[in-house]
Amino acid sequence: MSLETKPFNIAEHLNTPEEIRGFLQEVAATGDESDFIHALNTAAKAEGMTEVAEKAGISRATLYRSLAENANPKFSTISKVTKALGCKLTVV
């Protein structure tokens, strides 16, 4: 009998705004730009892409395209999505 596994999906484990904020903080502190965009994608999926798109004032399709792998979103999009997730960008 073989052991069946499935890929780990962190979005399934980000259940509260605090968990999403902590996840984004950690990635911002330890990753690069593409890591942060990927983390925004993961956080948006955890929150619900449609809901995040509505809060950010962008279409769902634009949100998917902006946060896709190898995407290069505008800073304004990153800022809107971050705010829609209940976070804010700061310089320390």
Residue 64 has pLDDT above 80, yes or no: yes
Cα 88–Cα 19–Cα 73 angle in degrees, nearest 5: 45
d(CA 14, CA 2): 30
Indicate the domain borders of the chain: 15-84
For 72, counting Cβ atoms within 10 Å of its Cβ (0-12 exposed, 13-18 middle, 19+ buried), the class is exposed
Spatial CB neighbours of 28, under 8 Å, sequence gap ≥ 6 = 36, 39
Q: What is the CATH number of domain 15-84?
A: 1.10.260
Q: Pick from 54, 49, 55: which is nearest to 87 by CA?
A: 55
Look up the pTM and report it.
Answer: 0.89
pLDDT of 2: 87
Q: How confident is the model at residue 92 (pLDDT cuts 50, 70, 90)?
A: confident
Q: What is the pLDDT of residues 14-37, one digit of tens each?
A: 999 999 999 999 999 999 999 999
Rounded to whole angstroms, the Cα distance separating 43 from 21 reads: 9
